[in-house]
Amino acid sequence: MSKGLTWRVSLILLFMFMSLLYLTPTLVPKLPSWWKGILPKDKIHLGLDLQGGTHLVMEVETLKAVEGSLDLIATDLEDTLNAENLRFKRIAKAGGDRVQLVLYDKGTAENVQKLVKKKYPELELLPAFDEGGFVNLQLRMTEKEAQDRKDKSVQQALETIRNRIDQFGVSEPIIQREGINHIVVQLPGIKDPKRAIELIGKTARLEFKLVDENINAATAIPATIPEDDELLMEKRVDPATGAVSEIPLVVKKKAMITGELLTDAQVRIDSQFNQPYVAIDFNSTGAKLFDQVTAANVGKRFAIVLDNNIYSAPVIRERISGGSAQISGSFTEKEAADLAIVLRAGSLPAPVKIIQNVTVGPSLGQDSINKGLFAGLVGVALVVVFMAIYYKLAGLVANMGMVLNIVYLMGALAALGATLTLPGIAAIVLLVGMSVDSNVLIFERIREELRLGKTPKAGLDAGYDKAFLTIMDSHVTTLITAAVLFQFGTGPVKGFAVSLSLGIIINLFTSLLATKVVFDFALSRGKVKRLSI
C-alpha cells in the first residue's frame, strides 16, 4: 500500500472510531462502570417534536421597560436633589417617554438643569416653562435611547428566563430571541408545563416599601390617596379553612430596597409553625441599606411586595443588620421553591406575555420518530438496490460511502451536542440522495473516460478530477442556504439546517476521498483490466 493511500485509510478509520465512540452512549442503554473520565456520556439530544414537551413564544412588553427606566430616573433625581439641597415640589414620570420636575423658582431650575445635563448626557432636556407659579422642566428619552433600552430589556429577559429554566431543571431547553421583541422557549420532555410557564412568565420584581399608617386603607379611595402612595393588596390564607382573603394596605410608591440587591434566596422551614418561608441575603450595598432603613423605621410596618402583591407586612421590631431577611406568607413548599428560583434568577426587566403555547405529547413524539426512521430506511434501501443494480460493484462502493456518511453525521451530532429534530431526520434522508448524486456524477465521468479508451487507473483519476468542481459548487451553494436557514430560522428549521450543514461537509469527504480510496486500493492490488461500472 502506498504512503498516500495509507494516510487516507487511517483518516477514514479514525473518523469511524470517533463517530462510534460518541455514538456509544446513544446506542448502549447502560454504559459500563469503567466508562468514565473524558469518555463521552451524552446521548444525541432529541428535539421537541421527537420527545414531546412545550413550545412557547413570548412577547416582551418593551414599553414597560422604558417606563421602568423613567421611574428609576425619577427616584434617582429625587435622591440627588435632596442630597444637593435643591428644593422641588414634585418629580414624576410624564407620559411614556419623559420625566417632569416641578420646581419653586428659576434659580433652582438653572442649578437643576446643569446637574441634569451632567448626570444624564444621553437624555434630552427640554426648555423650562412656567405653569401655575412653578417652573417645569422635562427630561425626555430620545428615540435612539428608548430603542436601546427596549433591545437591552429583551436581551436581559432572555438571560433571566434561561437562568430560571436552568434552576428549574429542564434538560436541553432551547431559548432564543426571535424578531424584535419575541422569545422562543422549547422545553423538551417537561413533566409539569403549567408550573414551568408560571415560573417563566413571573415578572418577580421584589420591593420593600413602607406602609403609610396615616391612611385608613379599608375606607381609602383613589381620590384620598396621596400622590406618593398607592393601594396594594395583601393576600392571606386561613390555615384552618384554606379561605383566601385580601387585605388592602396603603404603601409608599417609592421602594426603599429592590430585588436587584439580592445575592441568594433559599427555602427554609419555620420550626415554630412548620411553614415554609424564603430566606434572602443582600449584597454589601443591600445589607448596608437594609440596616439603615430598619434603623430609621423601628416600630413601622415594612411591606414586602412582589409584582405589586404584598406577601407580608411585618412591623420592624429592631434594627436588622447582617444583610439577611425573610419572606413569609401562606406558601406551599412548591410555591416557596418557585419564589426562591425567580428571586435568585433575577426579575424580568419588563412583563412578558405568552402569545403561543403548544404542548406536544411524548406519544406523538415517538410516532414521529417511528415514521421518520421508517421513511429513512425505505429511502436508503431503495437507493442501495438501485446503485447495486445500475453501477454494479462501483454501486456497492457508493453504498459504502453512503453508510459512512450516516455514521459520521450521527457521530458529529452527538459530539457537538446538536439536537436531532424531525426535520433533521428529513435532512439526513436528503443527504442520502446527495451522497448518491455525487457518486453518480463521478461514475458517469469515469464511464466517459473509459469510452475514450483510457486505462482503469487513468479513467478513475480523470473522472474524480473532472467531477470535483461540479460537486464542490453544488455543495457550497447548498451550504450557504443551510447557513441562512440556521441564522434566521427557529426550532425545527434550525434542526434541519444543522443536520444539512454537517451532512454537506461530511459528504464532500466521503464522496471525494473515501470512495476513491476503495478504488485505489483495488487497483493497487493487481493489474485490473476493467472496472465494474
| Pairing relationship of beta strands 124-131 and 134-140 according to DSSP bridges | antiparallel
Contact between 49 and 341 (Cβ < 8 Å): no
CA-nearest of 358, 486, 367, 422 to 49 is 422
Average pLDDT over the chain, rounded to an integer: 83
Q: How far apart are CA 450 and CA 457, in angstroms?
A: 10
What are 59's three cell numbers? Answer: 412577547
**What pLDDT is attached to residue 3?**
63
pLDDT, greater one: 52 or 278: 278
What is the percent of the chain with per-residue pLDDT over 70, rounded to a whole number? 94
Instruction: Please report which confidence band the pLDDT of residue 16 belongs to, taking 50, 70 and 90 as the band edges.
Output: very high
pLDDT in tens, 156-204: 888 888 888 877 766 667 888 888 899 988 888 777 778 788 878 777 7
**What pLDDT is attached to residue 201?**
76
Q: Is the dihedral of CA 42, 44, 45, 48 positive or negative?
A: negative
**What pLDDT is attached to residue 17?**
92
What region does 111 belong to: left with phi over 0, alpha with psi -120 to 50, or beta? alpha
Q: How far apart are CA 458 and CA 529, in angstroms?
A: 12
Domain topology for 63-145? Alpha-Beta Plaits (3.30.70)
**What pLDDT is attached to residue 210?**
92
Contact between 185 and 174 (Cβ < 8 Å): yes
Is the pLDDT assigned to residue 363 strictly greater than 70?
A: no
Amino acid type, 158: L
SS3 (DSSP) at 306: strand
Q: How far apart are CA 490 and CA 175, in angstroms?
A: 10
CA distances from 213 to 73, 210, 442 (A): 27, 9, 88
Q: How far apart are CA 225 and CA 232, in angstroms?
A: 12
CA 369 to chain CA mean position, Å:
25
Q: Is the pTM of this model over 0.85?
A: no
What are 456's three cell numbers? Answer: 482503469
**What pLDDT is attached to residue 528?**
65
67 class by beta-carbon count within 10 Å (0-12 exposed, 13-18 middle, 19+ buried): middle
What are 354's three cell numbers? Answer: 405568552
Indicate the range of 20-24, 238-242, 391-395 predicted with least confidence: 238-242
Between 1.20.1640.10, 3.40.50.300, 3.40.50.960, 3.40.1440.60, what CATH number should domain 3-20+362-524 receive? Answer: 1.20.1640.10
| Pairing relationship of beta strands 276-282 and 419-420 according to DSSP bridges | unpaired
Contacts of 20 (CB under 8 A, 6+ apart): 407, 411
Q: How far apart are CA 340 and CA 281, in angstroms?
A: 11
SS3 (DSSP) at 376: helix
Between 3.30.1360.200, 3.40.47.10, 3.40.718.10, 3.90.180.10, what CATH number should domain 202-358 receive? Answer: 3.30.1360.200
Contact between 258 and 232 (Cβ < 8 Å): no
What are 401's three cell numbers? Answer: 460511502
Domain map of the chain by residue range?
3-20+362-524, 63-145, 202-358
Beta-bridged to residue 232, according to DSSP, are 249
Dihedral (C-alpha) 390, 393, 398, 399: value to the nearest 10 degrees? 90
What is the DSSP code (8-state) at residue 514?
I
